Amino acid sequence: MFYKKDLSNYRKAFDGVTYKTLTYGDKTSLGEFHLEKGYVIPNHKHSHEQTGYVISGRMTFTIDGKDHNAEAGDSWNIPGNVEHSVNVHEDSVVIEVFSPAREDYLP
């Protein structure tokens, strides 16, 4: 699958978070997420390994009880079934890979 940049078709994941799955295969999915300043993604966990990169903005991740301040150029990997949350300090854009592919985020 090849993805060509398209500024349409973003979907609402939650209040304060929109996303678009950019490309996906049998084992991974790649998505772009826009997070609004002040939004908090509550503590949660899922079976997917999650690797991400901050394009712009600033936020604090709490991963397995430990805080990590993130800004443009920072990245992370959250193993499956590890609790995590995010506090968004500035409007932010992140790119994330999920393995296996997040079927709930597929187009």
Q: Is residue 6 part of a domain?
A: no
Q: Tokens standing for 20? A: 């678009």
Could you tell me which residues come within 8 angstroms of residue 48 by beta carbon, excluding any fewer than 6 positions away?
Answer: 80, 98, 99, 100, 102
- State residue 2's pLDDT score: 87
- State residue 28's pLDDT score: 97
Q: Is residue 55 part of a domain?
A: yes
Percent of the chain with pLDDT over 70: 100
- State residue 3's pLDDT score: 87
Confidence of residue 5 (pLDDT cuts 50, 70, 90): confident
Mean pLDDT of 45-71: 97
CB-based contact 105:95 (threshold 8 Å): no
Q: Is residue 3 part of a domain?
A: no
- State residue 7's pLDDT score: 84
In total, how many domains does the chain have?
1
pLDDT at 47 over 90: yes
Confidence of residue 89 (pLDDT cuts 50, 70, 90): very high
pLDDT at 9 over 90: no
Tell me the CATH number at 38. Answer: 2.60.120.10
Q: Is residue 32 part of a domain?
A: yes
